[in-house]
């Protein structure tokens, strides 16, 4: 069964600090991995998408890494801002375009 | 340019009733997917439609059904509502059915079953 596990479940950091969120998956055969940001009560917004051949991708202060061998990904947030407070969801798709497995997300709280 | 729009934004229904949720994809997008998100969990895949045909189905009972119209908009129907159907229902649209195509989500419909 395809699974996506995210850690930590929740995280509190001070404004301006960096943090790293983890995603481990067992989805096979692998197609792509995406990170989404979801504000409370809103739809997820895409941050990055990585395919098998990519091991790092940046989007502003967000940098995602992918190790397809160990089936791990991380999302690094640099110089956090209060607006970064949200749930960050890792989504892994297999080669069947209709099948994506979502993690339960990491809830990040940035405090002043 | 309008993004993915869902209606209604909030809905309260009684157990046993039926509900229809609507989604309009981004102009030009041919694929629509539906997800259920229970509080504190990630979205769970329900259906994907492409060119008006069902192309994927998640592990949901037959009470859940959907369809896609010629203009690529979509409806999700849930019959015989249960308390456990209370959730945020998300619609996502993508240009094609290709594996690495970007998917864009709507704001969701918050369904409460009482």
Q: Percentage of chain B surpassing pLDDT 70?
A: 96
pLDDT for A82 equals 97
Compare all CA atoms of chain A with the CA of B58 and give the residue at the minimum distance. Answer: A99
Q: Give per-residue burial for B35-59: e unless 16+ CB within 10 Å, then b.
A: bbbeeeebbbbbbbbbeeeebbebe
CA A8, A53, B34, B23 dihedral sign is positive
pLDDT for B7 equals 97
Q: Does B63 touch chain A (CB under 8 A)?
A: no
The beta-carbon neighbor of A104 closest among B41, B57, B97 is B41
The beta-carbon neighbor of A51 closest among B42, B44, B100 is B100
pLDDT for B99 equals 56
Q: Does B44 touch chain A (CB under 8 A)?
A: yes
Q: Which residues of chain A have pLDDT under 70?
A: 96-98
Give CA separation, A31 vs A60, A64, B1, B60, B64, in Å.
24, 16, 29, 24, 27
Q: Does B102 touch chain A (CB under 8 A)?
A: yes
Token pair of A17 as six digits: 């600090």
Is residue B6 within 8 Å of residue B93, measured between CB atoms? no
pLDDT for A25 equals 96
Record: contact B99-A32, CB cut-off 8 A:
yes
DSSP 3-state of A112: coil
- What is the C-alpha to C-alpha distance for residues A59 and A55, in angstroms, rounded to an integer? 14
Q: Which residues of chain B have pLDDT under 50?
A: none
The beta-carbon neighbor of B99 closest among A36, A41, A93 is A93
pLDDT for A28 equals 84
Q: Does B48 touch chain A (CB under 8 A)?
A: yes
pLDDT for A2 equals 80
Token pair of A79 as six digits: 């110089």
Record: contact A96-B48, CB cut-off 8 A:
no
Name the H helices within A1-112: none
- What is the C-alpha to C-alpha distance for residues B36 and B43, in angstroms, rounded to an integer? 5
State how far Cα B52 lies from the chain centre: 14
- Interface probe for B, chosen from A49, A88, A97 (most Cβ of B below 10 Å), is A97
């Amino acid at each position: 069964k395809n699974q996506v596990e995210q850690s930590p479940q929740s995280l509190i950091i001070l404004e301006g600090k960096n943090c790293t969120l983890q995603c481990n998956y067992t989805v096979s055969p692998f197609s792509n991995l995406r990170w989404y940001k979801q504000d409370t009560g809103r739809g997820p917004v895409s941050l990055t998408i990585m395919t098998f051949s990519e091991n790092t991708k940046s989007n502003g202060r967000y940098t995602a890494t992918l190790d397809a061998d160990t089936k791990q990904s991380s999302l690094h947030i640099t110089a956090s801002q209060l607006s970064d407070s949200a749930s960050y969801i890792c989504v892994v798709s297999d080669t069947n375009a209709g099948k994506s497995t979502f993690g339960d997300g990491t809830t990040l709280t940035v405090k002043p | 340019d309008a993004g993915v729009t869902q209606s209604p934004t909030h809905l309260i229904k009684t157990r046993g009733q039926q509900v229809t949720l609507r989604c309009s994809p981004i102009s030009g997008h041919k694929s629509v997917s539906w997800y259920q998100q229970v509080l504190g969990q990630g979205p769970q895949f329900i259906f994907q439609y492409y060119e008006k045909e069902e192309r994927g189905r998640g592990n949901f009972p037959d009470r859940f059904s959907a369809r896609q119209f010629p203009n690529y908009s979509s409806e999700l129907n849930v019959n015989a509502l249960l308390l456990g159907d209370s959730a945020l229902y998300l619609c996502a649209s993508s240009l094609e059915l290709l594996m690495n195509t970007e998917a864009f989500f709507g704001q969701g419909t918050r369904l409460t079953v009482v």
